[in-house]
Amino acid sequence: MMLPRLKHFFRQLLLYKSATVGLAIILGLIAISIYTVFSIPYSDAIKLWRAGEQYWLDTPRNALPSWVNLFLPKKLPETIILDTENPQVGVSKAIISAGEESSVIKVEFVFDYRYDDFPSEINLFFKSSYNSSPPRLTIHWVKPNGEDIVLKSMLVAKDDRYYISNDEKLARRLRSTFSVKLNRTIGYDLPILVLLFAQEDESLLDPGTAKVMKGTYRLWIDGIAFEKDVKLDAKLVVYGKVYGWAGTDHLRRDLGIALLWGTPIA
């Protein structure tokens, strides 16, 4: 008796499109709730959400969901991560003994940039091990046109980082260089991200017309350490403007976690 009644109920339900859509939504929410409970236990979700910016250091701030690129005329950048601790194409590292008391350090990151917009940030993270003398590194940036820009020379602590996109001294130097190249005064503060990724033409004179120079970029590091057994790893993060299916917040946290766990709670 129950089966015929159920069949009749669903036949009647299909006659009303709004009811069918509502039922589909409810079933979808139930499925999401079940998936969330098993894939991200509540205790893990709380830890991730409260972990703070340090945990989410490789994700961009205030990023849009990745699927927005399907509908935008300009392709927004995704995050690029290159790490000497995770060997991959475009990453190389060598530490070569240069006598009894010194070592030469070579690190290179190569990546292709084909997006229509500039990154949101660029950071470089270091892990080093030494006894008393920290390595001295010179960091270079090479654009697709072959121009080699010295970003900075620095002594690297055991856990150090270089926030390239916040380097105002570098920004002032590059703005001066670009003004000389264009033989024009740039009448606004060009962000470092534009200076490192832009086409070097008159489009730079207006913040609304600056264009990305697409192609292969290279960040290479030349260093020396006055110790024999020095160790060093580096990670380059070129932050995008889209991330995941839900985006991120101002603390870089994946909003997908909050949205997924909001479903079973609701």
Contact 56, 251 (CB under 8 A): yes
CA distance 208 to 188: 11
* Mean pLDDT rounded to a whole number for the chain: 86
CA distance 218 to 126: 17
Neighbours of 111 (CB within 10 A): 16
According to CATH, the topology of domain 64-247 is Jelly Rolls (2.60.120)
The pTM for the full model equals 0.85
pLDDT band (50, 70, 90) for residue 8: low
CA distance 203 to 183: 13
Closest by Cα among 249, 187, 256 to 60:
249
Listed in sequence order, the residues at least 6 apart from 78 whose beta carbon sits closer than 8 Å to its beta carbon are 66, 115, 240, 242, 243
Strand blocks (E) in 24-180 = 80-83, 91-97, 103-113, 121-129, 136-142, 148-155, 159-163
CA distance 144 to 236: 18
Contact 66, 182 (CB under 8 A): no
Burial of residue 169, with CB atoms counted within 10 A of its CB: 0-12 exposed, 13-18 middle, 19 or more buried:
exposed
The residues spanned by each domain of the chain are 1-56+255-266, 64-247
Contact 143, 217 (CB under 8 A): yes
- Give the helix ranges, DSSP H, for 40-75: 42-50
Starting at the edge strand found earlier in the chain, the sheet holding 136-142 runs: 91-97, 103-113, 215-225, 136-142, 148-155
- Model confidence pLDDT, tens digit, residues 229-245: 899 999 999 999 999 98
- Model confidence pLDDT, tens digit, residues 128-181: 999 888 999 999 999 999 999 999 999 999 899 999 999 999 999 998 998 888
Which value, to the nearest 10 degrees, does the dihedral of the CA atoms of residues 50, 52, 54, 60 take?
110
- Model confidence pLDDT, tens digit, residues 119-135: 999 999 999 999 888 99
